[in-house]
Amino acid sequence: MNFSAFNFKLLTFNSYHMTDLIKKTIEYVKAKLKDEHTGHDWFHTERVWKLAKKLQEEEGGNKELIELSALLHDLGDYKKYEFNQIKGNFVLLGMMDVLGIEEEDKEKISQIIEDAQFIGDDTEPPKTIEAKIIQDADFLDALGAIGIARTFATGGKIGRVLHDPSRKPRKKLNKKDYQTKKISGTSINYFYEKTLKLPKMMNTKTGKELAQKRAECVKDFLDKFYKEWEGKQ
């Protein structure tokens, strides 16, 4: 028996199986997020998925788990379920059942997504390369020109004030503060309370390099914003 040919066929079958599952997951997530009009819509998910694939090519990790985690990372978001992580995980596991994801992989994906979450200044570096990549990809989409647009889209959706010079950025937000006081800030302050902290929280070499470039875009925007706010430009 030609074992080389057998191994090639096995790898090819697994590749096609994974491609089918990814396609199925994409269509499922699109349908679930079709009425989402903030910075956490399908297009955000698509960008995180693409970034995660790029990071995986450079950094390694289980490609299958990374792609699925990227595509599913916002569906069980605790912020959508009254900040209840247990409820969010329960919803996510149910969705993975619908998709036919294997039991062992369901638990891994759920853990990757939970470990990759931003929870204010209490956020800890993930332990696995898969979670590190998902966190980096998600954080990158909060930076740069896209990150600026998403900040204002989300701010408008939840009723956050654009800017109020009398309200200073909160220097430290623990998990509870981040989860319960997001609306109390301003969109401009959000850049200091979260966005500009992200480059130092990146995990991978590739992620760190991309984050620095995107952070410069945010800093340039803020510089121009203040000048225009004061009528200097």
Residue 138 belongs to domain with CATH number: 1.10.3210.50
For the chain, the average pLDDT equals 85
Would the CA dihedral through 34, 40, 46, 47 be positive or negative? positive
Rg, Å, the chain Cα set = 19
pLDDT at 5: 43
Under the banding of pLDDT at 50, 70 and 90, the label for residue 9 is very low
pLDDT at 217: 98
Q: Supply the pTM of this predicted model.
A: 0.85
pLDDT at 124: 87
Rounded Cα gap, residues 151 and 193, in angstroms: 12
Domain total for the chain?
Answer: 1
Provide, rounded to the nearest whole percent, the portion of the chain with pLDDT above 90: 57
Rounded Cα gap, residues 76 and 26, in angstroms: 15
The whole domain housing 55 covers 3-229
Q: pLDDT tens digit string along 121-180?
A: 778 899 999 999 999 999 999 999 999 999 999 888 888 899 999 999 988 877 777 666
Rounded Cα gap, residues 139 and 219, in angstroms: 16
pLDDT at 84: 55
Mean predicted confidence (pLDDT) in 168-195: 81
pLDDT at 180: 63
pLDDT at 4: 42
- Cβ atoms of 128 and 115 within 8 Å: the answer is yes
pLDDT at residue 18 is higher than 70? no
- Cβ atoms of 52 and 137 within 8 Å: the answer is yes
Phi, psi of 161 (to 5 degrees): -65, 140
